[in-house]
A and B are shown apart, each in its own frame.
Chain A
Amino acid sequence: GDSVTQMEGPVTLSEEAFLTINCTYTATGYPSLFWYVQYPGEGLQLLLKATKADDKGSNKGFEATYRKETTSFHLEKGSVQVSDSAVYFCALSSGGSNYKLTFGKGTLLTVNP
Chain B
Amino acid sequence: DAGVTQSPTHLIKTRGQQVTLRCSPKSGHDTVSWYQQALGQGPQFIFQYYEEEERQRGNFPDRFSGHQFPNYSSELNVNALLLGDSALYLCASSFTNYEQYFGPGTRLTVT
Tell whether, in the assembled complex, residue B104 and residue A42 are in contact, meaning their CB atoms are under 8 Å apart. Answer: yes
> Which residues does chain B contribute within 8 Å of A36, judged by CB atoms?
102
Contact B41 A98 (CB under 8 A): no
Q: A-facing mask of B46-64, CB < 8 A → 1, else 0?
A: 0010000001101000000
Bound CA span A44–B45, Å: 14
Contact A43 B105 (CB under 8 A): yes
What is the number of residues of chain B that contact chain A, defined by CB distance less than 8 Å?
Answer: 25
Question: How many pairs of A and B residues are in contact by the CB < 8 Å rule?
Answer: 56
Nearest neighbor of A90 in chain B, beta-carbon distance: B42
A64 and B6 alpha carbons, distance in the complex (Å)? 31
Neighbouring B residues of A98 by C-beta, 8 Å: 94, 97-100
Distance (whole angstroms) from the CB of A24 to the closest CB of chain B:
14
| Partner of A101 from B40, B43, B103, B104 at Cβ < 8 Å | B43
Question: Could you say which residues of chain B place their CB within 8 Å of the CB of A44?
Answer: 43, 90, 92, 102
Interface residues of B (CB under 8 A from A): 4, 33, 35, 40-45, 48, 55-56, 58, 90, 92, 94, 97-105
15 A-B contacts (beta carbon < 8 Å): A41-B104, A43-B102, A43-B103, A43-B104, A44-B92, A89-B43, A97-B97, A98-B99, A100-B45, A100-B48, A101-B45, A101-B92, A103-B44, A105-B42, A106-B41
In order of increasing CB-CB distance, the 8 nearest A-B pairs are: A103-B42, A43-B102, A44-B102, A43-B104, A98-B97, A100-B45, A99-B56, A105-B42
A contacts, CB < 8 Å to B: 4, 34, 36, 41-46, 49, 89, 91, 97-106
